[in-house]
Structure 1
């Protein structure tokens, strides 16, 4: 961004206030020959601020007594800091999925949670179906030939985490799931389902 120097300001003061380094500012402003001689009204281009990102304390974001099964970094929003997808085991055999996101100036926050899943779950697949850096994550389980594949699909749409597909209560017999060439593919001996992104939702095609 461009910053207009105020009377009496020095480069070091400006850099400290905006959490950027003098070295990075000088690289962007080759015309500044004397860092100590800025003039009021002079325009200085500033780089994005340096953000210190601490690893999240996972226990803060799960119910008391719940056990963490797995934590995975996934670029659900496609932004610089990947979200954390947390699969948990809750009391009475229930499972849950919690997604936390780092928000600059605020810190880590829960942006999605589902705590009522009745089947074993793990993270089955992570991949891209969009034309950008966003990733989807498939959580669920392949429970054998008798009960089949139970899963859901989480992704980022309209600036929030969305559950695109929910098949926890409708298992696919002997199903397998993969993300291939921008498509989500769910296969079974009887049929194969392909899901493609149309800009607003996942469109299902049964082959």
Structure 2
């Protein structure tokens, strides 16, 4: 299986790449990144690209499955418009290129609460991306809606606060379905989704993200 990955530099992406390289069923792993990551492996190929120039990388998006876990924050991006470009535009452009090039499977990391009609910018953005990619002609689309993520060495202040808050609620026996999900577990779920024989569109949320259908 030839895996394509965007978002390889994020917490989930790093765990995903590590697991893909260790997976005997993954014969080739192609990353699309802005800068050289310094990773070296016999089955790894990293394409250093300009995401704003799809005409330069469109024909490179060929394989068996596209894993999409690209994302940023408003703080890092600088504005909602810039976050939209990364979280929506880039991800949709890659999904569109993959489907046009005959990639059969697509695995997207979205978010709990994704809703195209939400008044909350982040939830609306995620929901609108979900609705857009569902219209693309993949054989199989799996959308994962994980709860708040437990990222190793996270520097996101808001995320750290939210993580502590939900952990406190969990200790009280509440909101168990929304307990934080370690990024390495999410990465493992992404790979299981890619190997699943289901066709069409499936959305995994809640406990399915932790214990998806067995392959």
Q: Which has a greater percent of strand?
A: 1
Fold match (TM-score > 0.5): no
TM class by shorter chain equals under 0.3
Higher relative contact order (CA 8 A, sep 6+): 2
Q: Which has a greater percent of helix?
A: 2
